[in-house]
Amino acid sequence: MTQFESVALPPRLPLIVETSNRAGSVDQDARLVNCYIEISKQQEIFIYRRPGLTSLGVIADGQVGRGLFFWKGSVYSIFGSVLYKDGVSVGTGLNTTTAAQFNNGVYSFSEYLGATPKLVLMNGDEGYTYSIAGGVSATLNSINVDYPATTVKGAAYLNGATYVMQPEAVIWNSVVNSVDQPGDWSPINFISAQIEPDPGVFLSKQLVYIVAFNAWSTEVFFDAGNAVGSPLGPVQGSKSSYGCANQDSVQRIDDKLFWVVTNQTASLQVGMMDQLSVTIISTPSIDKLLENINYDLMFSWQLKMDGHSFYIITFKNSNLTLAYDIVFDEWHQWTDTNGNYFPIVASTYDASGNRIVQHETNGRLYYITSNSYKDLNDPIQVDIYTPTFDASTRRRKHLNIMTFIGDQVEGSVLNVRYTEDDYKSWGQFRQVDLGAKNPILINCGTFTKRAYNLMHTKDCFFRLQAIEVQYDIGVL
């Protein structure tokens, strides 16, 4: 049976795109803002709104958020100079004087076993221990004269010993299952990450290995069981020529390590270490964004939900938050309601598996969930910026109708506008009722090439699959 031109299947506009900024700005080219994609087994592709925030409570009104961790059935948070357990103060006097120097003072957390299990809290200068029985101790570097005076963020527990690193890339270890008693740190128990002369930045662990992130290189160590000195020995052939640009970019997710990498060329990228192998996960377009970005103040956190796993990084001084979907290998931009960076500094979960995040400045903790369509009382503005569409010809097209394919939800409204001058200027928004049985726009004008901005702010579920377009082709 012959299918005539007049009844040919209408094409669909490309909505799902890899972020394609052509230079160091997010204001031009295709991108997804405050949303993420999902691909079904049938290769159907959908766009969802990013998860929203509901208040868990005001912990310390107006205080700066400085760390979040789940330990032994409770949620521990740091606001200002105070450590809170499930919202109740359990220790004061944490150092805040080095906040500007050490990236807003967001603490890293680790734990160790022993007769009295304890938390280790580190802000990139000083360290503290906390036990349920004893509360916050004095700073670690006052425990005894042998403890290193200054340590970078990140403490790693391996086979009973706790490892920390000095800025000189010297790795120290405690005795087994203790860190804050006299004699726990010996001046002979250290090993240096010294293949390159770069300073230490962050210490972490992958599998059964200690990972030392330096300024332009990364080295890996294993427990060699040495009877004298450090138990560690270097893993041969594991050195990477990628270092860490900022200690607050490091996240350990499903025993993979993610961080903002740099090397002696000073080019920033985003890397992942899996099974001790380092790969670059940032795309050329993301690398362009990072080319001239200010990375002095950074936050990073992680989120697992609904089959997705996200690594989120914020460059505060450049007003940018990027979210990497590990499962679908996609990059997106997340913002607050005003289009600025997303002001979350840390994440964890509670005993019931609820996902919790910490605000940068207002003293609050929030639940974060895909069932929340606002950030507390603020709308979440989804923006889909499509690639330029010309139907593979520069002939003029008369666009008769656009049909929007997505979930039919009462009260859901999509605002649609377009640009015909390469994202420089935009037309007026037109509204599409996504609650209708057949959401359409008619009489959409004539164009040679176009890109669209689709905006959604309503407090309801949002999922969009495609836009079908019906047009007639004219002459050049």
Q: What pLDDT, in 10s, does the model give residues 239-279?
A: 999 999 999 999 999 999 999 999 887 789 999 999 999 99
pLDDT band per the 50, 70, 90 thresholds, residue 137: low
* Residue 118 shares a structural domain with residue 219: yes
* Residue 428 shares a structural domain with residue 295: no
What is the rounded average pLDDT of the residues 103-126? 81
Dihedral sign of CA atoms 164, 166, 168, 173 in order: negative
What is the rounded average pLDDT of the residues 338-361? 96
Q: Check pLDDT > 50 for residue 4.
A: no
Residue that finishes a domain, picked among 351, 382, 413: 382
pLDDT exceeding 90 applies to what percent of the chain?
67
Predicted local confidence at residue 143, as pLDDT? 52
Q: Which of 311, 264, 310, 260 is nearest to 289 (CA)?
A: 260
What is the rounded average pLDDT of the residues 37-43? 86
Q: Check pLDDT > 60 for residue 7.
A: no
Whether 395 and 420 have beta carbons less than 8 Å apart is answered as: no
Highest-confidence segment of 133-142, 182-191, 342-351, 467-476: 342-351
* Residue 275 shares a structural domain with residue 402: no
CA separation for the pair 443, 328 (Å, rounded): 36
Residue-range definition of the domain harbouring residue 209: 52-382
Predicted local confidence at residue 318, as pLDDT? 95
* Residue 415 shares a structural domain with residue 302: no
User: Between β-strands 463-473 and 45-49, what pairing exists: parallel, antiparallel or unpaired?
Assistant: antiparallel
Q: Which of 94, 79, 51 is nearest to 359 (CA)?
A: 79
Whether 462 and 48 have beta carbons less than 8 Å apart is answered as: yes
* Residue 293 shares a structural domain with residue 415: no
Whether 349 and 70 have beta carbons less than 8 Å apart is answered as: yes
Cα separations in angstroms, 85 against 59, 177, 255, 301: 10, 23, 26, 20
What is the rounded average pLDDT of the residues 68-97? 90
Predicted local confidence at residue 351, as pLDDT? 95
User: Between β-strands 344-349 and 355-359, what pairing exists: parallel, antiparallel or unpaired?
Assistant: antiparallel
Domain annotation covers residue 43: no
Find residue 365's DSSP bridge partners: 57, 358
What is the rounded average pLDDT of the residues 3-17? 63
Domain annotation covers residue 37: no
Cα torsion for 79, 80, 85, 88, to the nearest 10°? -100
Structure tokens at 138: 């004095």
Residue that finishes a domain, picked among 348, 382, 416: 382
Predicted local confidence at residue 15, as pLDDT? 80
Q: Check pLDDT > 90 for residue 384.
A: yes
Structure tokens at 134: 């004893």
Complete edge-to-edge strand list for the sheet that includes strand 135-136: 108-112, 118-122, 127-131, 135-136
Cα–Cα–Cα angle for 216, 219, 224, rounded to 5 degrees: 165
Q: Check pLDDT > 60 for residue 104.
A: no
Name the more confident of 126 and 326. Answer: 326
Q: 5-19, 30-44, 207-221, 444-458: lowest mean pLDDT where?
A: 5-19
* Residue 287 shares a structural domain with residue 329: yes
Q: What is the 3-state secondary structure (H, E, C) of the chain?
A: CCCCHHHCCCCECCCCCCCCCCCCCCCCCCEEECEEEEECCCCCEEEEECCEEEEEEECCCCCCEEEEEEECCEEEEEECCEEEECCEEEECCCCCCCCCCCHHHCCEEEEECCCCCEEEEECCCCEEEEECCCEECCCHHHCCCCCCCCCCECCEEECCEEEEECCCCEEEEECCCCCCCCCCEEEEEEEECCCCCCCEEEEEEECCEEEEEECCCEEEEEECCCCCCCCEEECCCCCECCEECCHHHCEEECCEEEEEEECCCCCCEEEEEECCEEEECCCHHHHHHHCCCCCCCEEEEEEEECCEEEEEEEEHHHCEEEEEECCCCEEEECECCCCCECCEEEEEECCCCCEEEEECCCCEEEEEECCCCEECCEECCEEEECCCECCCCCCCEEEEEEEEEECCCCCCEEEEEEECCCCCCCCCCEEEECCCCCCEEECCCEECCEEEEEEECCCCCCEEEEEEEEEEECCC
Q: Check pLDDT > 80 for residue 296.
A: yes
CA separation for the pair 117, 114 (Å, rounded): 5
What is the rounded average pLDDT of the residues 95-110? 67
Cα separations in angstroms, 67 against 58, 301, 356: 15, 10, 12
pLDDT digits (tens, 9 = 90+) for 173-189: 988 888 888 888 887 88
What is the rounded average pLDDT of the residues 276-290? 94
**CATH number of the domain that residue 438 is part of:** 2.60.120
Name the more confident of 180 and 314. Answer: 314
* Residue 377 shares a structural domain with residue 391: no
* Residue 328 shares a structural domain with residue 428: no
Phi, psi (degrees; rounded to nearest 5) at 105:
70, 20
Q: 336-340, 444-448, 452-456: lowest mean pLDDT where?
A: 444-448
Domain annotation covers residue 33: no
What is the rounded average pLDDT of the residues 12-41? 82
Predicted local confidence at residue 229, as pLDDT? 86
pLDDT exceeding 70 applies to what percent of the chain?
92
Q: Which of 230, 213, 232 is nearest to 221 (CA)?
A: 232
CA separation for the pair 328, 305 (Å, rounded): 13
Cα torsion for 438, 442, 446, 447, to the nearest 10°? -30
What is the rounded average pLDDT of the residues 338-345? 96
Predicted local confidence at residue 2, as pLDDT? 41
What is the rounded average pLDDT of the residues 88-103? 69
* Residue 145 shares a structural domain with residue 236: yes
Our count of domains for the chain comes to 2
* Residue 235 shares a structural domain with residue 377: yes
pLDDT band per the 50, 70, 90 thresholds, residue 101: very low
Name the more confident of 267 and 458. Answer: 458
Q: 182-186, 330-334, 360-364, 368-372: lowest mean pLDDT where?
A: 182-186
Residue that finishes a domain, picked among 382, 416, 431: 382
Question: Which phi-psi region, left, alpha or beta, contains residue 195 (left: φ > 0; alpha: ψ -120 to 50)?
Answer: alpha
CA separation for the pair 100, 63 (Å, rounded): 15
Over the chain, what is the mean pLDDT?
A: 89
* Residue 362 shares a structural domain with residue 391: no
Predicted local confidence at residue 230, as pLDDT? 92
